[in-house]
Structure 1
Amino acid sequence: MKLRLAIVGAGPAGIYAADILLKYERAFDVSIDLFERLPAPYGLVRYGVAPDHPRIKGIINALKDILDTGHIRLFGNVNYGTDITLDDLKKHYHAVIFSTGAMEDANLSLPGIDLPGSYGAADFVSWYDGHPDVPREWPLDAKNIAVVGNGNVALDVARMLVKHPDDLLPTEIPDNVYEGLKKSPVTDVHIFGRRGPMQVKFTPLELRELGELNDVDMVLHDEDFDYDQAAKEAITSNKQLVVIDRIFQSWRQRETGSASRRLHFHFYANPLEVLGNEKVQNFRYERTQPDGAGGVRPTGEIRELDIDALYRAVGYFGSPLDGIPFDERHGIIPNHEGQVLDDHNRVVPGVYATGWIKRGPVGLIGHTKSDAMETIQHLVKDQASWWTPAEPEEDAVTQLLDSRDVNYRDLSGWQRLDDAERALGKERGRERLKVVSREDMLDRSLPGDTS
């Protein structure tokens, strides 16, 4: 018996799931095909992590090692729902795992949030990471910018906005992104969080990096650091908060006023409204205060800040998949420990989920390993309910894609593109220069391309 498994989504979640299954103690052989809608694998690590985070980018090396074993077939530039459908998967595989992540912006329901000059963080991240499906240009004409959110994505967005572009040149930042940021007139970026500095979702590493920015002042307000008893107790019981508090306190001791750019933190600030006539002009928020239990309550004090642009960084949201149940409220595939559930809460045979599309956009990239293990355990135990494919032969899938003229790329195609990006980077004294357009990615992944 051989399990023919399809995995849709070649980010960390999908690749880890494949690796775990290959190493899992089981009584059958496996054959795994990985489908990815982009010409390049690695998902969120390639297109969701800021280019100046080489430590996190190092995860790519581990993912590369898994793909390079040769035990997993990669089909890049294949779109689920059009190039290959659920019926196709049932015809050629015993089961499928969806690991499509969450790349859309979560909604922030505020009056005026749709004004010109108001942007989603996910779209901005895709732009500065060179995602092939977003425009090459980004409107960077604002001097005063608000970023709403107190997670790592908010910090990434704020850092990329306020950081001097020349300091990004050693990274894999695409040329169009560098040129766009170079023209930005930004002087002040304001980060807003509804709760206090000891309730942030930042990780210490991300926060510390902000304080290392060249020619950027860190601006904090004394009123935000009059800790209540709940905050003090949180610090004593949480090592991460000890470090975060230490970072904030060190910034409060710094002299400010000499830098050309400033990064402001506003805690206890509940967003109320985005104001403007034809574009964003003002941000209105209500001052909150600790409620004694680790949360906050409103004070009735309304404040305003003149701004030229606003970025909402309040989380990511998954996208529905053709023929697969979807939870519209949470942006995930409904599931029990990775087993997909239908509208009546019954397990859907042969269909599984892992990663952010399974549990929502929470946790660091490393958490996807334990997440994938849970899904794989159910997949192995569910052998009696796998699909019965009519054409499980490995070459049947390639014949199907060829018959539909799908311009797919295999692992060797990705390796050629990888080599091309490294060569472009070497010309500039950098490790890599990312190729941005889909057409260029596909061209450089063809055999014999030396450009």
Structure 2
Amino acid sequence: MAYVVTQACCADASCVVACPVNCIHPTPGEPGFAEAEMLYIDPKSCVGCGACVTACPVGAIKPESRLTPEEQPFSVLNAAYYDEYSHADRTPLALVPPQRRLVDPRPVRVAVVGAGPAGLYAADELLRHPEVSVDVLDRLPTPYGLLRAGVAPDHHHTKGAEKLFRAIEEQPGFRYLLGVEVGRDLTHAELAEHYDAVITCVGAAADKRLGVDGETLPGSLSATELVAWYNGHPERQDLDVPLDHERAVVIGTGNVALDVARILTADPEALARTDIASGPLDALAASDVREVVVLGRRGPDDAAFTLPELVGLAGLPDVDVLLDPGGADITATGERGRLLRDLASRERRPGRRAIILRFHTQPVAVLGETRVEGLAVRGTHPTLTGAETLDTGLVLRAIGYHGKPVPGLPYDDVAGTVPNDRGRVEPGSYVAGWIKRGPTGFIGTNKSCAQETVTQLLDDLDAGLVPVPPRRGEDLRERLADRGVDPIDLAGWRAIDRQEKHRGAISGRSRAKIVALDELRAAATSSLRETV
């Protein structure tokens, strides 16, 4: 019995190491690893031992016999990968070099700014060295960044990567200073006074703009804001999301656009079993939205969404997913092309909610007097260049993220990144994640990104390029306390986590997120707090 990978992966590669017959690719060290949309199991080589299932931290691997009808395309994807890529002439697994040790064994303290995947992977790489201790800071009282506030609530398997992060948190030398904002509570220079090095991993918090008239009307939002809203981000719970029109329009064809379309058309009863924030859940339960149109300026062959996400969307049991190629032919090959053509051949059934993937269509202006009332569009294919108005009360732009300037660090306004050399800004100051490379890759991509940055830091330490900071022996918490800032530590986060899970269990949910900053701080000091 063969096993099948059924979703985009965290790229942790635990399953690769666990497999006794080397049937999971691409592996670390092979072309495409960490950039691939997912890993693939060779059905001809798989012996059905199930070792990969135990090792997978996000529950992405299933026996072929237990795939649902909607998951069957993943069986084809796994097999097709090996038809296209032969691995007979490749190194079976990544060669694991001896563990590096620093030339000078003195204690090293590193501050990591940002507790999202990039920051926690950086902490993990650093803590492989017994000389190093790490303090992870974040401006929010909760860690995990986009894994908590960006992954769609119905993607519970992806959220399983929390298990990886919990293991990182439990390593000796790890400490949280949550609820501390660099640039508000202290400067980057002040932080650097306490640590041998600072790695900034603040992501790309802004979104790209459409640049059309009416973009600032109420009801014209970024998908970034909407995702944060329904995921319980404390700073987005007051977001005005008009759901009183039967149609919403999403501009962009990436995975975030598909996530937003799926959540807007989801069955509220199904959403109620996820960790979606309670306020947004109530709003979506009362929503009038019945149709979401996803617009792409180019053709379906150029869409940015990954194949695993498209497979999941196409298999929705209670929503019609249709495709309008906008006058273009679908020329994509393989499973992607087959699925695109299948969606283009479907017809909408009366009375059902629908997601329409519409291509070769460009927004011209957001229309309305005091709020969004429509979207003017035009065709971009030579055969269909006419203008049209789509009636809608909600327009969401999902055309990419953009990094914000980081106080105290240089900034490239065009790229939205901190200029760096493989993560090094200057000796003692480093970056990782989206603020380093731009908004590309998946959660697991941050692992190889962090490895590169930490290697630069260790090289600088060994070369004697990192000076000893003047206040290294002092605890930063004392400085923060003088300013009235009380950081939340690991025990505090564990207390928040327990309380959210306790609240969720009462209503049959995995978690009921606490969304108010004062309530989060109260939970961190509640009776559920334990010594970690």
- Could you tell me whether the CA contact under 8 Å between 2:326 and 2:384 is conserved in 1? no
Q: After superposition, where does 1:225-304 map in structure 2 within 5 Å?
A: 226-227=329-330, 231-232=331-332, 235=333, 242-289=334-381, 300-304=385-389
Residues 393-432 of structure 1 deviation map (CA, whole Å, 9 limit, x = unaligned): 2x52121122222121000100111111111111112221
Distance 1:257 1:379 in 2: 58
- Residue of structure 2 aligned with 1:377, choices 423, 440, 455: 455
Residues 375-404 of structure 1 deviation map (CA, whole Å, 9 limit, x = unaligned): 1111111122213211212x5212112222
- Residue of structure 1 aligned with 2:283, choices 160, 180, 184: 180
Q: Which position in structure 2 is the counterpart of 1:358?
A: 436
| TM-score, structure 2 as length reference | 0.76
Q: After superposition, where does 1:395-434 map in structure 2 within 5 Å?
A: 396-434=475-513
CA 1:7–1:354 in structure 2 vs 1: closer, same or farther (change >3 Å)? same
Aligned-pair CA distance for 1:222: 6.1
The two structures, once aligned, show a CA RMSD in angstroms of 1.9
Q: Which position in structure 2 is the counterpart of 1:392?
A: 472
- Residue of structure 1 aligned with 2:520, choices 422, 441, 444: 441
- Residue of structure 2 aligned with 1:100, choices 193, 202, 208: 202
Q: Which position in structure 2 is the counterpart of 1:118?
A: 220
Q: After superposition, where does 1:163-174 map in structure 2 within 5 Å?
A: 163-174=266-277
Does residue 109 of structure 1 match 2:201?
A: no
Residues 360-382 of structure 1 deviation map (CA, whole Å, 9 limit, x = unaligned): 11111110111111111111111
Distance 1:193 1:214 in 2: 24
SS of match in other structure, 1:73: strand
Q: Which position in structure 2 is the counterpart of 1:18?
A: 123
Instruction: Calculate percent identity across the aligned residue pairs.
Output: 39
Q: Which position in structure 2 is the counterpart of 1:197?
A: 300
Distance 1:329 1:142 in 2: 36
Moved more, 135-144 or 50-59: 135-144
Q: Which position in structure 2 is the counterpart of 1:292?
A: none
CA 1:431–1:99 in structure 2 vs 1: closer, same or farther (change >3 Å)? same
Distance 1:402 1:80 in 2: 15
How many pairs align?
A: 421
- Code of the residue aligned with 1:437 in structure 2: it is A
Q: Which position in structure 1 is the counterpart of 2:101?
A: none
SS of match in other structure, 1:382: helix
Q: Which position in structure 1 is the counterpart of 2:54?
A: none
**Higher relative contact order (CA closer than 8 Å, sequence separation 6+):** 1
Distance 1:4 1:76 in 2: 17
Residues 38-64 of structure 1 deviation map (CA, whole Å, 9 limit, x = unaligned): 111100100111111011111111111
Aligned-pair CA distance for 1:224: 4.7
Structure number with higher strand proportion: 1
- Residue of structure 2 aligned with 1:332, choices 413, 417, 426: 417
Residues 154-202 of structure 1 deviation map (CA, whole Å, 9 limit, x = unaligned): 1111111111222211111121111011121112110000111111111
Q: After superposition, where does 1:44-193 map in structure 2 within 5 Å?
A: 44-136=146-238, 138-139=240-241, 140-193=243-296
Aligned-pair CA distance for 1:285: 2.4
- Could you tell me whether the CA contact under 8 Å between 1:416 and 1:445 is conserved in 2? yes
Aligned-pair CA distance for 1:79: 0.8
- Could you tell me whether the CA contact under 8 Å between 2:326 and 2:360 is conserved in 1? no
SS of match in other structure, 1:179: helix
SS of match in other structure, 2:350: coil
Aligned-pair CA distance for 1:223: 5.1
Distance 1:278 1:183 in 2: 23
Residues 97-146 of structure 1 deviation map (CA, whole Å, 9 limit, x = unaligned): 00001122112211221222211111111100000112345322222111
Does residue 33 of structure 1 match 2:33?
A: no
| TM-score, structure 1 as length reference | 0.89
Distance 1:339 1:58 in 2: 31
- Could you tell me whether the CA contact under 8 Å between 1:138 and 1:180 is conserved in 2? no
Distance 2:367 2:137 in 1: 44
SS of match in other structure, 1:20: helix
- Could you tell me whether the CA contact under 8 Å between 2:112 and 2:201 is conserved in 1? yes
